[in-house]
A and B are shown apart, each in its own frame.
Chain A
Amino acid sequence: MADGLSRRHFFGRAAAVSAGLAVGVPTATPDLAAAAGPPGTIPVSFTVNGTGRTLQLDPRVTLLDALRERLNLTGTKKGCDRGQCGACTVHVDGRRVLSCLTLAAATQGRAVTTVEGLASNGTLTPVQQAFVDNDGMQCGFCTSGQVMSATALITEGRGSTADEIREWMSGNICRCGCYTNIVAAIQQAQGA
């Protein structure tokens, strides 16, 4: 493995965060040590909403920042950035996770779905439509995370009662307090 830590190295790496973006088919398991790119960066190839992407990233970059700052997918929100609020919830290989606590480099070869990947041809999914129909939001900042979590909850087969929905949605905080309408939205989507 490489070098120790120096001040010059640190700034070199920090600058590299804003290095270029390549869009294309994911490469097959790149040899990280031999990869070309700005010093301190590594290539990361993954699928986002069905499209293969390859980014040259400082390994400190979280999946959340890669999505928002590098791929301009700003539907996924940065709330607490500490794994406590759920606003950054996305699906990785079909499972809901927190993108703020996921290093982008650790998603090599995986399939990421964000809120932008749900609707197809302008048609909202039943969960998205149910949040609209039930007014399941106020400021809306937590909504994409709520929608991603609710979508996963239904796939997981959870939420047979309102209490069970609350328990399995507990990782998504709504500071406006729209929980009643969020539960109603999920119940509507479950019946859709």
Chain B
Amino acid sequence: MQAFDFAAPTSVSQALGLATTGSAYLAGGTTLVDLMKLDVMGPVHVIDINGLPLAGVTTQSDGLHIGALSRMSDVALDPNVTSQFPVVAQALLASASPQIRNMASIGGNLLQRTRCDYFRDTTTPCNKRQPGSGCPAQTGVNRTHAILGTSTSCAATHASDLAVALVAMGASVRLQGQSGQRTVALDGFYQLPGTTPNVENVLQPGELIIDVVLPPLPWATTSSYLKIRDRQSYEFALTSVALAVELTGATITDARVAVGGVATTPLRLPAVEAALRGRPATTATYQAAATNAATGAKPLSQNGFKVTLVQRAIVRALVELVGA
């Protein structure tokens, strides 16, 4: 691990004032400390933000606010989250392990780095870690990689379950920088890799995530998160589905669908939502809608199964949530 100096500010303004070239904010540390040990990240200044007053879930006029330093385990059990947004609680409990959920913050979860083995291995090229060095996943070991939103520079998936649920719910993040505060829809927060996979989101240097805002969505009480993985627990998604459905009688009047594990960003699927809207809640409807899930997919040598898997996962999630 590279040497760094350490500071523990107690206010947002102090933290922002300390941020400079080569600095990194430390919250739960489950990504940062891991990647510093692997020499994938090497900040020379570590700013411990755990003393900042950014934890807690509060109900405000524009929706439910989840403080960026709230821990995954606390948010997963928060009564407002579990009652109003079951999909968010389920996505959190499907993530990582109890120990990691006690440590990891909500802001850090959204900013976690990909699990692509080439990114994590400094002996191999990786355009995300070292721009211009190449992407061995294009022809190498790519079974867990993305089929959507990829480029010839990068096919790494975004690893967060929470982000998939939040994108489905139309959540936004409030960002605080030296020059002020701004609100960004999470759907537009993440950036496709294109030719610059090292740029993963619109966060500016030194900017902090203050909180996540979940706008009211009354029918999100009928929502769920389905995660398909190689082992039952403590594993990243091969594919996942965040789902909410508004039912009027036996008709789907509105729906939210986002998927994880198959794309380079958490991916909302408007075409699938549109194909569900106004249709009877039947397996035939689900299957027809799901055919829109992988439009434009570019499978690599080992991950073609995800094209089928993501469609079947959407159908299964709908059957389990709404019934056939």
Contact = CB atoms under 8 A, between A and B. Distances in A.
A89 B26 CA distance: 20
Interface string B1-16: 1111111100000000
B100 interface: yes
A15 to B, nearest CB: 11
Contact of B98 (A33, A42, A96, A108): A96
B8 A101 contact: no
Contact of B233 (A98, A105, A166): A166
A98 B100 contact: yes
A44 B140 CA distance: 45
A171 B99 contact: yes
Interface SS of A by simple majority = mixed
Interface residues of A, number: 43
A26 interface: no
A92 B1 CA distance: 24
Given A103-B29, A103-B33, A166-B233, A86 B7 contact: no
A76 to B, nearest CB: 13
Interface residues on B, range: 35 or more
B308 interface: no
B45 interface: yes
Nearest to A82: B34
Interface in A79-121: 81-83, 86, 89, 95-98, 101-103, 105-106, 108
Nearest to B22: A4
A60 B232 CA distance: 34
Given A170-B233, A170-B234, A97 B99 contact: yes
A13 B4 CA distance: 9
Interface in A1-20: 1-5, 9-10, 13-14
Contacts, number: 105
Contacts of A102: 29, 33, 103
Given A82-B37, A108-B8, A171-B97, A101 B1 contact: no
Contacts of A168: 98
Contacts of A103: 6, 26, 29, 33, 46, 48
A9 B3 CA distance: 8
Contacts of B1: 60
B50 interface: yes
Nearest to A163: B232
A167 interface: yes
Most chain B CB within a 10 A radius of its CB, from A95, A153, A166 = A95
Contact of A62 (B3, B20, B30, B33): B33
B96 interface: yes
17 contacts: A1-B23, A4-B22, A4-B44, A10-B2, A40-B3, A59-B5, A60-B36, A82-B38, A96-B102, A97-B102, A98-B100, A103-B6, A166-B233, A170-B232, A170-B233, A171-B96, A172-B97
Interface of A: 1-5, 9-10, 13-14, 32-33, 40, 42, 58-60, 62, 81-83, 86, 89, 95-98, 101-103, 105-106, 108, 149, 152-153, 156, 158, 166-168, 170-172
